[in-house]
Chain A
Amino acid sequence: MLRLEAMRAIYPLLAERVVVTNMGAAPAELFSLGHQPGFFYVWHSMGLASSVALGIALARPELQVVALDGDGSVLMNLGTFTTMARYRPPNLLHVVFDNEVLLSVGRSFTTATATGSDLAAIAAAAGVPRTATCRTAESFAHACAEALRAAELAVLVAKVEPQGPASYFIDLHLLESRFQFERHLRGLRAAGAGAPAEERTAP
């Protein structure tokens, strides 16, 4: 499947939730489907999208958080599976689009998933309670919907073609997105979405 097809299949689930992406093709394709104030794109810092998502999920248990990651990124922070599994936040879904290459560098630069490393199996062995590898957009969308409905920490790996968008450009500066995202999360709290968290003091 194409990553864009997979993402389109789960876009309705993403649009109403908090989403944190890695850098590169995933944020560009998500943005092309329609930016939402609850979407945050972690340019650079490869591997840390899931850590940012974990921080949000633990800080705000009333929000459902989805991390959109890639094989190259997650391989740079495999310890994240063990940390997520340790706390098992039921409001966190970690999606890994696995195209087996470092696509933005070139298709010839394969990652270890091209030579047999199985990210879903690694996550399961780390203690993540719900894991799967999906090979069609339909099965992937179904697995995502089930994981969100079950309210159980999940790592879902979507095997996708090594094909990216024509352009990686997003017409939203990373700082613009960062402040918009923070304000959005604050607004969700003010709107009474779940238990209030610690209020910041006024300046």
Chain B
Amino acid sequence: MPVSVEGSRLVYDALKACGVRLLSVLPETWLVHLVSLADEDPEMTLVRLAKEEEGVGVSVGAHLAGVRSAMLMQNHGLLASVNAIVSLAQLYRVPLLMLVSYRGGFGEEHPWQTEGGAVTEDLLHALRVPYLLLERPEEVAARLRQAQNLAEASLRPVALLLCRGLMWED
């Protein structure tokens, strides 16, 4: 399974450097190494969800309790979380760092990923969620830090899209 170990490690180290200590996830193929890294890290509280929307609630609770958190999910999980993003994180002005694997783009081999891939960025625009792509390894640490800063300064959700070039070794 050519999920990039190196790319996953970079993302995980950047999350730790941002002070993230609680990670709620719904695993998918591109995220397996990231989930394992969190699972093996005694400093990280890993919350495995039944459905991604729960993760918005968990992160809101963690933030109010004073612990930095992030959500890790596929872009289809983002689609499944829309009401919670709007009616909880945005309504209550809570910084929410969302790391979203960007499936269904160029190079995608699975038909079922393609429709979600086609609407992901338009959806983020519609939700007024600022986002950056994580594609090149050398950008990961800075972009994650920038996303965290913006989320906390604006008290709003911010997304980072984990791209194929970073997460998958074709």
Q: Is A130 an interface residue (CB 8 A)?
A: no
A-B contact count (CB 8 A): 126
B66 touches A189 (CB 8 A): yes
- Knowing A45-B87, A52-B61, A59-B65, say if A77 contacts B19 (CB, 8 Å): no
Q: Is A133 an interface residue (CB 8 A)?
A: no
Rounded to whole angstroms, the CA-CA distance of A174 and B83 in the bound complex is: 17
Across the interface, A55 reaches (CB within 8 A) one of B19, B62, B83, B87, namely B62
**Which single residue of chain B is at the shortest CB-CB distance from A87?**
B47
Chain B binder among A114-122, A144-152, A179-187: A179-187
Q: Which B104-158 residues have a C-beta within 8 angstroms of A?
A: none
What are 11 A-B residue pairs whose CB atoms fall within 8 Å in the complex?
A: A45-B57, A45-B88, A48-B57, A54-B58, A56-B62, A56-B65, A80-B54, A175-B92, A178-B64, A197-B65, A198-B67
Q: Which A168-195 residues have a C-beta within 8 angstroms of B?
A: 174-175, 178, 181-182, 185-186, 189
Which one of B62, B63, B84 has the greatest number of beta carbons of chain A within 10 Å?
B62
Task: Give the size of the chain A interface in residues (CB under 8 angstroms).
Answer: 40
What residues make up the interface of A, taking CB atoms closer than 8 Å to B? 20, 40, 42-45, 47-60, 63, 77, 79-80, 82-83, 86-87, 174-175, 178, 181-182, 185-186, 189, 197-198, 200-201
A77 touches B54 (CB 8 A): yes
* Interface pairs A-B: 7 shortest CB-CB: A55-B61, A51-B57, A79-B50, A48-B57, A55-B58, A59-B67, A59-B65
Q: Is B21 an interface residue (CB 8 A)?
A: yes
Chain B 40-78 per-residue mask, 1 if CB under 8 angstroms from chain A, else 0: 000001011111011111111111111111000000000
User: B interface, by DSSP: helix, strand, loop or mixed?
Assistant: mixed
When distances are taken between beta carbons in the complex, the residues of chain A under 8 Å from B94 are 178
Rounded to whole angstroms, the CA-CA distance of A40 and B94 in the bound complex is: 14
Rounded to whole angstroms, the CA-CA distance of A40 and B61 in the bound complex is: 10
